[in-house]
């Protein structure tokens, strides 16, 4: 935890702010650290005054980092000059340099250079770090998606010979980017999600007074074309059938996959099918979360993800085997590499390994050659919900629709569908007996009979 003297230094009978400049940026900034006196000897007052100064200094460091990172030499030159725009003689140099650029490259290139170097225009990502600080609830993946679409926009502006600045993104330019770049090679849902990040960024920019208006408000991605008369029906994501579940859970894992996936996938599939947990929730379980006959889910994808799930009798052996002799802090599912710095999810390698296995087993559904299958690991969760509903509809199961919501999480789309069956207000968390009755009502299907097709012939299957 940062102490009360973070960024502060006692000098000349008063406190001053000190922010060190990274070594690789010291040449650009012409210094090894920023220093500014705060005009007070009171530590409490200095702590109140310092943050505005620190923010400004870190903003200069961020500008220098952008100047060092850009592959456009003209943009790099402008960003370097921008850092010294208020220094004596810089404006004279800027005018002279802009005139030389105009003579060599034309008036538009000179105007773009002068605007960026003088501070009259703002780099596209100038406020991106401050925006992400404001959006502190963004997951690492979400942060990465925002940074990715901003890079796409910047790259497209360059190819269109436009300045990579906020001012260059007019309403007309935004519309052209959506049609000519954002929607190319991406389905409508994904393009809409990326468009949402740009809307949020400009919304924040307007809120903070950095722009007058947002060119993204009211913009939409083009409508998807009407399906061909002869196209296959596509009902979207779905649960596995009982036959598909049996083929996956009882499939020839060791014939198709190498360790470590061949060691953890069988247990992952069974836990998902008999608990309704999401893949990341399972991968985040610690040994200590599986004590006392229940899984303790502490956090997850939604605000209602934290919950207690009784351990199905069919999972007791798996939990005991994976917990024996291991510390309480160890992950129940081992064999997964640590997540990279850009991600906060542990389950990505497992998801990719499962997709390879599922395709080798021959369980897939991609009507009209769509990019993503209608069945995935989450289909185990959908299957669990469907089997619970079937037990509920069978009568006298010992649990209610609200119990299903308590076990899988109220925000889940499947749970919302279930709750439309009842008009009663939420009666409160279901009891342990009701939740256990629900979990035990779900049974894994038997292994396919001998001779049932398990997988299509695959060359070099253990990849």
Q: For residues 10 and 102, which has the higher predicted lDDT (pLDDT)?
A: 10
Say what the pLDDT of residue 462 is: 40
Q: For residues 60 and 441, which has the higher predicted lDDT (pLDDT)?
A: 441
Query: Residue 326 pLDDT > 70, yes or no?
Result: yes
User: Which run of H or E residues covers position 9?
Assistant: strand 8-11
The pLDDT tens digits for 450-459 are 655 544 433 3
Q: For residues 461 and 307, which has the higher predicted lDDT (pLDDT)?
A: 307
* Residue range 340-368: mean pLDDT, rounded: 92
Percent over 70 (pLDDT), the chain: 89
- What domains can be seen in the chain, in order of their start residue? 8-118 (no CATH), 128-207 (no CATH), 242-441 (1.10.443.10)
DSSP summary character for residue 251: S
401 — pLDDT class (breaks 50, 70, 90): confident
CA–CA distance, 354 with 349 (Å, rounded to integer): 9
Say what the pLDDT of residue 296 is: 96
* Residue range 72-84: mean pLDDT, rounded: 74
- Greatest distance between any 2 Cα atoms in the chain: 88
* Residue range 151-158: mean pLDDT, rounded: 94
Say what the pLDDT of residue 85 is: 66
Say what the pLDDT of residue 402 is: 87
CA–CA distance, 217 with 268 (Å, rounded to integer): 43
Average pLDDT, the chain: 87
Query: Residue 119 pLDDT > 80, yes or no?
Result: no
Query: Residue 79 pLDDT > 90, yes or no?
Result: no
Say what the pLDDT of residue 461 is: 36
Q: For residues 55 and 387, which has the higher predicted lDDT (pLDDT)?
A: 387
* Residue range 177-201: mean pLDDT, rounded: 94
Query: Residue 174 pLDDT > 90, yes or no?
Result: yes
Which of 110-119, 133-142, 446-455 has the weakest average pLDDT? 446-455
DSSP summary character for residue 371: S
CA–CA distance, 132 with 255 (Å, rounded to integer): 46
DSSP per residue, 288-306: GGG-SSEEEE---SSTT--
Q: For residues 129 and 143, which has the higher predicted lDDT (pLDDT)?
A: 143
303 — pLDDT class (breaks 50, 70, 90): low
Most confident of 21-35, 118-132, 150-164: 150-164
> Cβ of 111: how many Cβ atoms within 10 Å?
16
Say what the pLDDT of residue 433 is: 94
Pairing of strands 14-20, 33-37: antiparallel
Query: Residue 392 pLDDT > 60, yes or no?
Result: yes
Beta carbons within 8 Å of 427's beta carbon, 6+ residues apart: 402
* Residue range 95-111: mean pLDDT, rounded: 83
Most confident of 184-198, 412-426, 446-460: 184-198
CA–CA distance, 258 with 265 (Å, rounded to integer): 11
CA–CA distance, 156 with 76 (Å, rounded to integer): 18
38 — pLDDT class (breaks 50, 70, 90): very high
pTM over the 0.85 mark: no
Bridge partners (DSSP) of residue 62 are none
Question: What tokens were used for 432?
Answer: 């342990």
Query: Residue 329 pLDDT > 90, yes or no?
Result: yes
Say what the pLDDT of residue 297 is: 94
CB 257 within 8 A of CB 265: yes
Say what the pLDDT of residue 463 is: 36
* Residue range 425-450: mean pLDDT, rounded: 87
CB 379 within 8 A of CB 239: yes
CA–CA distance, 72 with 429 (Å, rounded to integer): 58
Q: For residues 357 and 139, which has the higher predicted lDDT (pLDDT)?
A: 357
Query: Residue 25 pLDDT > 90, yes or no?
Result: no
CA–CA distance, 395 with 74 (Å, rounded to integer): 73
Angle (deg, nearest 10), helices 107-118 and 73-82: 40
* Cα distance from N-terminal residue to C-terminal residue, the chain: 45
Q: For residues 180 and 129, which has the higher predicted lDDT (pLDDT)?
A: 180
Q: For residues 331 and 417, which has the higher predicted lDDT (pLDDT)?
A: 331
Q: For residues 83 and 303, which has the higher predicted lDDT (pLDDT)?
A: 83
Say what the pLDDT of residue 304 is: 64
Question: What tokens were used for 59?
Answer: 């903003």
Query: Residue 277 pLDDT > 90, yes or no?
Result: yes
* Residue range 304-311: mean pLDDT, rounded: 87
CB 67 within 8 A of CB 28: yes
Query: Residue 422 pLDDT > 60, yes or no?
Result: no
């Amino acid at each position: 935890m940062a102490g009360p003297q973070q960024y502060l230094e006692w000098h000349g009978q008063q406190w001053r702010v000190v922010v060190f400049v990274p070594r690789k940026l010291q040449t650009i900034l012409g210094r090894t650290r920023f220093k500014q006196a705060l005009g007070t000897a009171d530590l409490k007052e200095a702590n109140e005054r310092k943050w505005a100064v620190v923010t400004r200094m870190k903003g200069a460091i961020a500008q220098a980092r952008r100047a060092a990172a850009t592959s456009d030499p003209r943009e790099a030159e402008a960003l370097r000059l921008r850092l010294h725009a208020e220094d004596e003689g810089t404006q004279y140099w800027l005018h002279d340099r802009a005139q030389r650029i105009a003579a060599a490259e034309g008036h538009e290139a000179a105007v773009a250079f002068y605007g960026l170097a003088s501070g009259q225009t703002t780099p596209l990502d100038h406020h991106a770090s401050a925006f992400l600080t404001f959006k502190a609830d963004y997951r690492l993946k979400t942060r990465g998606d925002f940074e990715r679409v901003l890079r796409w926009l910047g790259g497209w502006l360059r190819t269109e010979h436009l300045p990579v600045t906020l001012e260059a993104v007019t309403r007309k330019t935004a519309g052209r980017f959506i049609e000519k770049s954002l929607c190319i090679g991406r389905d409508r849902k994904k393009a809409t999600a990326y468009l949402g990040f740009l809307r949020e960024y400009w919304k924040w920019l307007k809120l903070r007074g950095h722009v007058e208006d947002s060119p993204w408000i009211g913009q939409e991605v083009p409508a998807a074309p009407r399906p061909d008369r002869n196209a296959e029906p596509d009902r979207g994501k779905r649960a596995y059938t009982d036959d598909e579940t049996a083929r996956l859970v009882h499939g020839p894992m060791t014939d198709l996959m190498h360790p470590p996936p061949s060691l953890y996938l069988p247990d992952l599939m069974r836990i998902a099918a008999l608990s309704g947990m999401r893949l990341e929730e399972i991968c985040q379980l610690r040994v200590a979360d599986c004590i006392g006959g229940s899984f303790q889910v502490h956090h997850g994808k939604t605000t209602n993800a934290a919950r207690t799930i009784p351990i199905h009798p069919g999972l007791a052996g798996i939990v005991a085997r994976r917990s024996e002799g291991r510390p309480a802090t160890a992950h129940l599912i081992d064999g997964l590499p640590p997540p990279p710095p850009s991600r906060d999810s542990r389950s990505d390698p497992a998801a990719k390994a499962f997709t390879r296995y599922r395709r080798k087993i021959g369980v897939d559904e991609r009507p009209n050659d769509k990019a993503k299958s209608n069945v995935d690991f989450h289909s185990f969760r959908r299957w669990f919900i469907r089997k619970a509903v079937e037990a509920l509809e069978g009568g006298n199961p010992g649990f209610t629709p609200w119990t299903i919501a308590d076990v899988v999480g109220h925000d889940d789309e499947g749970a919302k569908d279930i709750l439309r069956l009842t008009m009663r207000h939420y009666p409160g968390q279901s009891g342990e007996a009701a939740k256990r009755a629900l979990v035990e009502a779900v049974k894994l299907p038997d292994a396919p009979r001998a001779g049932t097709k398990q997988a299509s012939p695959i060359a070099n299957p253990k990849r």
